[in-house]
Amino acid sequence: MRKIMFSSKWKVTLALLVVVSFISCSNRASYKAVEIQGGKIAIDSVWDKNPNQAALAILAPYKAGVDSVMNKVIGYCPVTLTKGRPESPLSNLVADVLRNAAAQVLGSPADIGLVNMGGLRNILPNGDITVGTVYEILPFENSLCVVTLEGKFVKELMQNIATVQGEGISNINLEINKAGDVLSAKVGGQEIDEAKIYTVATIDYLADGNDGMTALMQSQSRQCPDGATLRGLFLDYVNKQAAQKKNITAVVEGRISVK
């Protein structure tokens, strides 16, 4: 048998490890949790009072690069566009942008535009619109999806929207009640034809049936062009409006009414 020789230094170290292990095992047996407490730590300006200067120095060139992009003014909004159910100026605008963006797939706008209120994370405030403003409103990587849906499933989609008391819609007139029932639903001013095939411009998240939009899972076809994020489409829209010297605005039009 081969012997392993240890120096006196290692012998002391091994002896200490044995003692610590013994104490740990003993302590583990004699202690038990008697109370668990939790709380929230607010991540706010308090943490900015004494920033780590070394860290700031490292981040400075990257921050300057990001700020130069995010602080770029790309348009102007003369009034604050709020978001909320059953209908709001901002949700109307974004749904319109989606419906019109379907032209890159269909050659013309879709029959219906649909975006979820939960996907709009901020309002569009009055004043200059920067790239950062759009990122605050649309922070997710949601992409345009154009789906085809039979009329009977479009009616089901209207019920999905009524159940949650409204979403961002375009080219739809929907009357619902407070219980979440559909009283009347029209697409392009016409009653929904159950035998007709409709095109719906939405985002991939909803096309998968999320946020209660389960009717979209019944689509006959689905086209999601590469790189067509909702945020990118909205940025393009603002830039094009600015190029034509037009402001960004929208109003509540009665697309969804609660009886």
Q: What is the 3-state secondary structure (H, E, C) of the chain?
A: CCCCCCCHHHHHHHHHHHHHHHHHHHHHHHCCCCCCCCCCCCCCHHHHCCCCHHHHHHHHHHHHHHHHHHCCEEEEECCCECCCCCCCHHHHHHHHHHHHHCHHHHCCCCCEEEECHHHCCCCECCEEEEHHHHHHHCCCCCEEEEEEEEHHHHHHHHHHHHHCCCCEEECEEEEECCCCCEEEEEECCEECCCCCEEEEEEEHHHHCCHHHCHHHHHCCEEECCCCCEHHHHHHHHHHHHHHCCCCCCCCCCCCEEEC
Q: Which of 44-53, 134-143, 250-259 has the lowest mean pLDDT?
A: 44-53
pLDDT digits (tens, 9 = 90+) for 120-141: 999 999 999 999 999 999 999 9
Q: For residue 34, is pLDDT > 70? A: yes
* The pLDDT of residue 10: 46
User: What is the pTM assigned to this prediction?
Assistant: 0.80
pLDDT digits (tens, 9 = 90+) for 178-211: 999 999 999 999 999 999 999 999 999 999 999 9
* The pLDDT of residue 40: 87
Cα dist from 159 to 118, 165, 174, whole Å: 18, 10, 10
Confidence of residue 32 (pLDDT cuts 50, 70, 90): confident
Identify residue 259 by its one-letter amino acid code. K
Joined tokens for residue 26: 């003993």
Average the pLDDT over 29-44 and give the result.
83
Other C-beta atoms lying within 10 Å of the C-beta of residue 216:
23
* The pLDDT of residue 196: 97
Average the pLDDT over 98-110 and give the result.
97
CATH 3.90.780.10 fits 68-253, yes or no: yes
Q: For residue 14, is pLDDT > 80? A: no
